[in-house]
Amino acid sequence: MSLFTSPKTITISGAAGQLCYSLLFRLAAGDLFGPQQPVELRLLDLPQAQTALRGVVMEIEDCAFPLVQNIVMTDDPAVAFDDADVVFLVGSRPRSKGMERRDLMSANAEIFKIQGQALNEKAKRDCRVLVVGNPANTNASILIRNAPDFDPRQVSSMIRLDHNRALTQLSRKARCQVGEIDRLIVWGNHSPTMFADWSYSRLDGKALSDVILDKSWYCEVFIPEVARRGTAVIETRGASSAASAANAAIDQMRDWLNGTRGRWTSMAVASEGHYDVPEGLICGFPVICENGSFRIIEGLKLDDFQQVMLARTVAELVEERDAVR
């Protein structure tokens, strides 16, 4: 590492929370930008969380991470977003047992409105923003609506955790390594309506549906289990997923920045009308990332089942959008 490499500024909201208790240490260790890139951490949380945040900062300091050049704690979004290179918006209220993610909508809408305004005013125009706090897709829409000068293509919401969950289930069933499977898609909302779609997935150049011959497993076990995995973690662990979510946040941001070398991944991004998804909805799509940007895979033929599944999750996104309006 050169002493003269200027640090990348990483802004993280909800920094005193449990998801960030995993995320911050991995970012500080270089898991996003690699072992040669110093970082400044801008940690945003509510005024009442600043004492707990101070404790987390003490722990980061005690790790003596060579890449960490500066740590800023703040409760002011304008300070947090100023000149940031990448932003992880995690801060929001998590759901507890018996709640759906959309139950969090009104509690979190106000947060993303205020943060959108600060982003609009303060952030670098090429900064990339990943929304993790739930309901993630709709929070990202609110953010974009309140940041009119900020390119919506610089914002995505997290669907990578669902993609990773689906990969593990498929690789177990097919008895292969996760890295051997390509062209998996998670469409739609990060909610129980999401659609994990293996229609184009390949393993060693073969269609995955020719390897896993059990079609009823796909429809009756795989799709619903991926969709309900967040709930299953909450019920089993007693708290919402944290380390796996932090891992997925880094995966999604790293692929966005570094590219996927022709491989498909899933990202929830603003629709530009692809697959008849209404423009502006933040929806999970298949993408390839290259040159610091993403490209939605176009022209896939969807059969009746896929169309029904996509329409269902898109209808929910429309409902959430209208409810927030």
* Positions in the binding site for ligand NAD (CB under 6 A): 13-14, 16-20, 44-46, 49, 90-92, 94-95, 111, 132-134, 136, 158, 161, 190, 240-242, 245
CB 172 within 8 A of CB 187: no
Pick between residue 96 and residue 177 the one whose CB is nearest to ligand NAD. Answer: 96
Pick between residue 16 and residue 212 the one whose CB is nearest to ligand NAD. Answer: 16
Sign of CA dihedral 121, 123, 127, 128: negative
Contacts of ligand LMR in 214-253 (CB under 6 A)? 230, 233-234, 240-241, 245
Q: Is 254 an interacting residue with respect to ligand LMR (CB under 6 A)? A: no
Q: Residues 105-124: x/- map of binding to ligand LMR (CB under 6 A)?
A: --------------------
CB 13 within 8 A of CB 89: yes
Residue whose C-beta lies closest to ligand NAD:
17
Closest C-alpha among 154, 150, 234, 156 to residue 192: 234
Selecting among 95, 101, 102, 190, the annotated active-site residue is: 190
| Strands laid side by side in the 68-74 sheet | 68-74, 39-44, 8-13, 86-89, 128-131, 155-157, 265-270, 282-290, 293-296
Picked from ligand LMR, ligand NAD, none, the partner binding residue 13 (CB below 5 to 8 A depending on kind) is: ligand NAD
Query: Helices 160-174 & 229-237, crossing angle to 10 degrees?
Result: 90
Contact pick of 9, 92, 115, 134 for ligand LMR (by CB under 6 A) = 134
Burial (CB count <10 Å: 0-12, 13-18, 19+), residue 266: buried
Query: Which amino acid, 283?
Result: C
Pick between residue 1 and residue 243 the one whose CB is nearest to ligand LMR. Answer: 243
Contacts of ligand LMR in 161-190 (CB under 6 A)? 161
Q: Which of the 8 DSSP states describes residue 218?
A: I
Active site residue 274: no
Contact pick of 8, 42, 101, 160 for ligand LMR (by CB under 6 A) = 101
CB 15 within 8 A of CB 91: yes
Binding site for ligand LMR (CB under 6 A): 95, 101, 134, 161, 230, 233-234, 240-241, 245
Kindly list the catalytic residues.
190
